[in-house]
Structure 1
Amino acid sequence: MLLGLVVLMGLGVAAWHPEGYRTASNVAGDKKATGISWFSLGGNVGIALGPPVITLLVTTFGLAGSLGLLIPAGLVALLLMAALPMLSVPARPRAASVAAPEARNMPGAMAILIVVVMLRSWTQLGFTTFVPFYYVDHLKADPRIVGPLLFVFLGAGALGTIAAGPVADRFGARPFMVWACLLAAPLSVGFLLTRGALAFVMLGAVGFMLISTFTVSVVLGQAYLPRNLGMASGMIVGFAIGTGGLGVAALGGLADRWGLPLALWVTALMPVGGFAASLFLPEPKPR
């Protein structure tokens, strides 16, 4: 039953994001990266708050405390129901947001971008999955440190999402992806080499750079598939989540066989592969 509920939850997430990102792109006008970054902020903030909130609930009330998460979920459902009449009214698309007749999809470029997204996702989910075990089981830290650690990582990622939009609109989505992947690698290694407060700073910097690429990758994917904005968004989000889970499973096997530190070092070096792949990304064709 639990597995069925998890699958149902995943279907809801999968159904929401493609149309949500397509709509956000249409209403964002020329500042697509900025508009989509604000659209993504809510989800990133929720993901950042999740670990400390669930840690507080479970440590205070036991496993039954997780039912407290039904409160925000119920509020969101009520808000969505109230907004459905407005959302069901089709808005007239802006001319700038509609692909021109001569616009052409770039499937080869999209394939390269998916590789970058996969490596980025493996790194992000690898850190969120194994850093808590690394601190508690390997470094023998207080388990209560897990919530703050993940909050710093994911919270900085939410800030990075907002910062990434204007920067990508100003300098281009492709250059942003290249530089973000390049900077994420040394920051990831720096986190593993530090302890204490400096480790929190380094982990926050990793989250800022790494997660900031999520919104930009959606914008770049839509630019590569201008005739299929919803499909482009779905592919980026789907590959990010789906292949990220597969990558974490592989890293888990690596950790079981050769130890958790090695798995984290492999995770920290994955942005190098993302940077190498990003160098082959072409500039999107003008619409």
Structure 2
Amino acid sequence: MTNNNTLSEPLEKTKTIAEKTVYSILFTISLSHLLNDMLQSVIPSIYPLIKTNYHLSFSDIGLVTLTYQLSASLLQPFVGMYTDKKPKPYSLAIGMGFTLSGLICLAQASGFYWILLSVMLIGIGSSIFHPESSRVAHMASGGKRGLAQSIFQLGGNAGSALGPLLAALIVVPFGQSSVMWFSLVALLAIVILYYIGNWYKGVAVSKTKAVKIPSEKHHSLSSTRVSVSLAILIVLIFSKYFYLASITSYYTFFLIDKFHLSVQASQIQLFIFLGAVAAGTMAGGPLGDRFGRKYIIWISILGVAPFTMLLPYANLFWTTILSVFIGLIISSAFSAILVYAQELMPGKVGMIAGLFFGFAFGMGGLGSAILGKLADTTSISYVFHVCAYLPLIGILTAFLPNLEVKKKKAAGI
């Protein structure tokens, strides 16, 4: 009798963890995502400064983004695949250590190649952070996976919005060396991630000791249909992040060129857009949980097209208004896409998170490099005219299966 009680304790603990939404961990990992992405967003925020200081072309700026995004993307699927099999609770804090090193190097960089090395280190930190932190959000979701990913993504988007604002207040007035102050934020994040690592370790140990709890519901789709659906999702990520690359890397230049704004004023405009992205993020996950992720993906990608096509022709007032609508609508897609993909391949949380975060960063980097070259050969205004049509690719969402219906049929409902 005593032995049965002893054996049942870890099982009950694991079931409780699996069934209960752990909001304290969700909001803590969201805070760490805020800090991480705030530090990451310092890179594009100082582009006008380093472009002037080092006499860089738009192609050079694109190469900086490409270096960062590739280092932030290529490792992510491999990190996710590895930690699916062997969880590494303290890898989050280690990843932030790479980011800390990159920030210190960036503050002291004296040339273009030092800048490339700095952003590469920051990118490596991001490649370790995102798959594992997404897994933590999944573990703490209690089954509310869309809500959990939205809370997690909210932190990241809020951090991305804060980065340009802090850069406008700190880096632009005080110069490149002031980036060093952001290393204090990285140190704070390391402490928070160590705390999360302790919780993560406790859950991982409990699961290995306990009898396995029932797995997530599987769909009845064939492997071919799953592969095609994943390919469609990747194309949708391409359209979303290729467009976002035009905003995050070149929106300030577009505003300076078209409306003759100051660097600080253009950073405030970027903050407004990224703030709208942060606000819209929270809606995508819960709405996907309630109405179906396919519909949210459809609305988020294709639905933003009218606004992106109007943006290049608007005056400053309407540019601001349109940027808010674009940010609100397009930001709801990623949480829905990520959870949809994880439902397509149950049990591959880390690999899917790494693949999609990695591909998103990779597309952002590739997009920035290509658009930088295009801006050099044409104009920054032309870039925004071309990118305006990318969301039309969202029509491919029509070919995605409705997983909620498939699950009900598989369950005999």
Q: Which shows bigger deviation, 205-214 or 277-286?
A: 277-286
How far apart, in 2, do the equivalents of 1:112 and 1:219 lie?
Answer: 14
Q: CA deviation at 1:65?
A: 1.7
How far apart, in 1, do the equivalents of 2:144 and 2:228 lie?
Answer: 25
1:278 to 367, 383, 397: 397
1:77 to 190, 212, 235: 190
Q: Which shows bigger deviation, 93-102 or 164-173?
A: 93-102
How far apart, in 2, do the equivalents of 1:112 and 1:101 lie?
Answer: 18
Q: Which shows bigger deviation, 248-257 or 169-178?
A: 248-257
Residues 272 and 23 of structure 1: CA distance in aligned 2, closer, same or farther (over 3 Å): same
- Following TM superposition, the consecutive aligned residue runs of length 4 or more in structure 1 with deviations greater than 6 angstroms are 101-104
Residues 4 and 150 of structure 1: CA distance in aligned 2, closer, same or farther (over 3 Å): same
Q: CA deviation at 1:79?
A: 2.0
How far apart, in 2, do the equivalents of 1:114 and 1:28 lie?
Answer: 24
CA contact (8 A) 1:33 1:164 kept: yes
Q: TM-score, normalised by structure 1?
A: 0.91
How far apart, in 2, do the equivalents of 1:21 and 1:104 lie?
Answer: 26
CA contact (8 A) 2:219 2:344 kept: no
CA contact (8 A) 2:342 2:349 kept: yes
Residues 235 and 266 of structure 1: CA distance in aligned 2, closer, same or farther (over 3 Å): same
How far apart, in 1, do the equivalents of 2:135 and 2:172 lie?
Answer: 40
Unaligned runs of 5+ in 1: none
Q: Which shows bigger deviation, 11-20 or 39-48?
A: 11-20
**Equivalent in the alignment of 2:383:** 263
User: What pairs up with 1:136-215 in 2 under 5 angstroms?
Assistant: 136-215=256-335
How far apart, in 2, do the equivalents of 1:59 and 1:101 lie?
Answer: 52
Deviation track 1:187-222 (CA, whole Å, cap 9, x = no partner) reads 112222222333211101101111221111111111
Sequence identity percentage: 31
Residues 135 and 97 of structure 1: CA distance in aligned 2, closer, same or farther (over 3 Å): farther
How far apart, in 1, do the equivalents of 2:366 and 2:160 lie?
Answer: 20
Q: Which shows bigger deviation, 44-53 or 192-201?
A: 192-201
How far apart, in 2, do the equivalents of 1:67 and 1:61 lie?
Answer: 11
How far apart, in 2, do the equivalents of 1:247 and 1:157 lie?
Answer: 19
Q: TM-score, normalised by structure 2?
A: 0.65
CA contact (8 A) 1:104 1:227 kept: no
Task: Return the letter of the residue paired with 1:28.
Answer: S
CA contact (8 A) 1:161 1:211 kept: yes
Task: Return the letter of the residue paired with 1:46.
Answer: G
Partner of 2:346: helix, strand, or coil?
coil
Partner of 2:314: helix, strand, or coil?
coil
CA contact (8 A) 1:26 1:97 kept: no
Structure with the greater alpha carbon radius of gyration: 2
**Equivalent in the alignment of 1:55:** 168
Task: Return the letter of the residue paired with 2:216.
Answer: V
1:244 to 354, 357, 364: 364
Q: Which shows bigger deviation, 140-149 or 80-89?
A: 80-89
